[in-house]
Amino acid sequence: MSPRHSVVVVGGGIAGLAAAWELSGGARGPTTSTPRIELIEEAPRLGGALWSDDFAGRVVDFGPDGFLARRPEAVTLATELGLSDRLEPIGASGASVWLKGVLEPLPAGLVLGVPTDPRALRELKGLSRSSRWSVWRDQHAPKKFTANHDVSIGSILRTKLGGELTYQLIEPMVGGIQAGRVDELSAQSVFPALFAAAQRGGSLMKALKSSAATPGGAAAERVLGPLFMTLRGGVGSLANELTNQLRDRGVVLRTGTAVSALRPTPSGTYPWEVDTADTTTGASGVVVATPAPVAGHLTRLLDESLSRLVSINSASAALVTLVFGAADTTLPSTGTGVLVPLASEWNDDIMMTTALTFLDRKWPHLHREGEILLRAHVGRIDDRRSEVLSDDALVDRVVAEVRTLLGRVGAPSAARVQRWPQGLPQYYVGHQDVVAAARRALVPYGVRLAGSAYDGVGIPASIGSGRRAAADIIEFLDRSARS
């Protein structure tokens, strides 16, 4: 690649940072052919939702607190950055679900909340006879369902397993990951194993069980390693270290600056110009790692299909982190948290809390004797009640709901609210078609898309998205140089 090349990365979340890392040589580091790289981020800091800060005598994540370790991207990047000695496996497993006013342990053998064996549901006292009948029927006389094209997760589940299991057991898990509703979320994009199982016909549970036929529990950990990991010092330290090393490599990092336009310039030195309020940067290639609506606005003039990116909606969420005294607070005997179905009644209202995470049980380095570090998750795509409450009012509401869920809870000694407006992209039915059309439209250009709006909302997926976009840009520029 010619040294004259210049690549601009628009967006400084983990996908954009990972793209800049790959552009600057990845694990190998820069060479004489590495292009000039400039990353431009509208927010005042880099890392997006990956953010750790001091709280109650420890460093706590106020965005994602861990990542799926059996996908390689996050672990690989941490290793390349020299952080492998800070990786920590999850310290507990399992969870509870709030069923009809009672906490019950989630059964084993679930695939994103979907049961694969009817025997696993025997201990769930809160399930009705009709739900158990639906499970028996799926095993012995399954309902027909046609899924030749993308459909919602909910349409599959309601048809095959009934409404109660769908909304009381499965939606709290799979819907909670995206802060969305299973009746709107794409099976093909969000839960491809379910989509494939539905296409096979017959019993949904049997098809899912065969597709997930990997060793479970301790056996899986011996073979595959721990399911989840974090970093001592917080997941946010991944973004911080990446930022520091990119700066050492000579990458230009600009924060507090919005990109206002991306313009093709066929007669200029570079084929692209990236505008901000007071600068114009020439670029041989561009990685757009912003929220999808921003990407749509920047690229829509190149092709009509790119304007459809503006339609990708996002849900807002809030995290309420609390410290309780262990002596006056009782948690379930096992598990790392509690899932709360969306329609759970509370004091003539509906609960705002969608899940609890026991952070100091989940991650051993956060444990402090005599304390409980707990996080409440609030907000879904169709529940914006938390947005109109002050932080103090939200803490009061959440603490009251936690008392209902756990039964015995003292007064919190510390509390902190972190809000993430429009932080979780919604993969609606047809999402893959929108993304595929946008990417096809950009093939002739040196512009690529990256981020959680396209390839998955988790940290590993976002890192992989950024690195693949960067690799595509490098290949595009190499091909252009040879032609």
Closest by CA position to 63, among listed 333, 359, 338: 359
pLDDT of residue 44: 97
Retrieve residue 39's tokens: 């990353």
The DSSP code for 454 is T
The answer to whether 335 touches 358, Cβ cutoff 8 Å, is yes
Residue 232 burial (10 A CB sphere; 0-12, 13-18, 19+): middle
Is the pLDDT at 108 greater than 50? The verdict is: yes
CA–CA gap between residue 418 and residue 196 (Å, rounded): 37
The answer to whether 394 touches 378, Cβ cutoff 8 Å, is yes
Please report how many Cα atoms fall inside a 13 Å half-sphere around the Cα of residue 218, on the Cβ side: 0
| Full set of structural domains in the chain with CATH | 6-45+237-312+427-482 (3.50.50.60), 107-215 (1.10.3110.10), 314-425 (3.90.660.20)
**What is the biggest distance separating any 2 CA atoms in the chain, rounded to whole angstroms?**
72
Sign of the CA dihedral with 462 first, then 467, 468, and 473 last: positive
Distances 162 to 168, 170, 329 between C-alpha atoms, Å: 11, 11, 36
pLDDT of residue 225: 56
The answer to whether 366 touches 60, Cβ cutoff 8 Å, is yes
pLDDT of residue 373: 98
What is the mean pLDDT of the segment spanning 55-65?
97
The answer to whether 107 touches 115, Cβ cutoff 8 Å, is yes
pLDDT of residue 211: 74
Is the pLDDT at 401 greater than 90? The verdict is: yes
Question: Over the stretch 263-289, which tens digit does the pLDDT of each residue have?
Answer: 999 877 899 999 999 999 999 999 999
What is the mean pLDDT of the segment spanning 52-68?
97
Closest by CA position to 102, among listed 322, 323, 332: 332
Amino acid at 316: S
Q: Which residue has the higher pLDDT, 124 or 417?
A: 417
Question: Over the stretch 318-362, which tens digit does the pLDDT of each residue have?
Answer: 999 999 999 999 999 999 999 999 989 999 999 999 999 999 999
Question: Over the stretch 151-192, which tens digit does the pLDDT of each residue have?
Answer: 999 999 999 999 999 999 999 998 888 899 999 999 999 999
Q: What is the pTM of this model?
A: 0.95
Residue 474 burial (10 A CB sphere; 0-12, 13-18, 19+): buried
pLDDT of residue 212: 60
CA–CA gap between residue 361 and residue 372 (Å, rounded): 8
Retrieve residue 115's tokens: 């049961």
Is the pLDDT at 482 greater than 90? The verdict is: no
Is the pLDDT at 380 greater than 60? The verdict is: yes
What is the mean pLDDT of the segment spanning 301-315?
96
pLDDT of residue 220: 42
DSSP letters along 230-242, please?
Answer: EETT-THHHHHHH
Question: Over the stretch 193-231, which tens digit does the pLDDT of each residue have?
Answer: 999 999 998 999 999 988 764 445 544 444 445 689 999
Per DSSP, what are the bridge partners of residue 320?
376, 417
Question: Over the stretch 134-161, which tens digit does the pLDDT of each residue have?
Answer: 999 999 999 999 888 999 999 999 999 9
Is the pLDDT at 428 greater than 70? The verdict is: yes
Confidence grade of residue 39 (pLDDT, cut at 50, 70, 90): very high
DSSP letters along 303-363, please?
Answer: -GGGGGGGG--EEEEEEEEEEEEGGG----SS-SEEE--TT-EETTEE--EEEEEEHHHHS
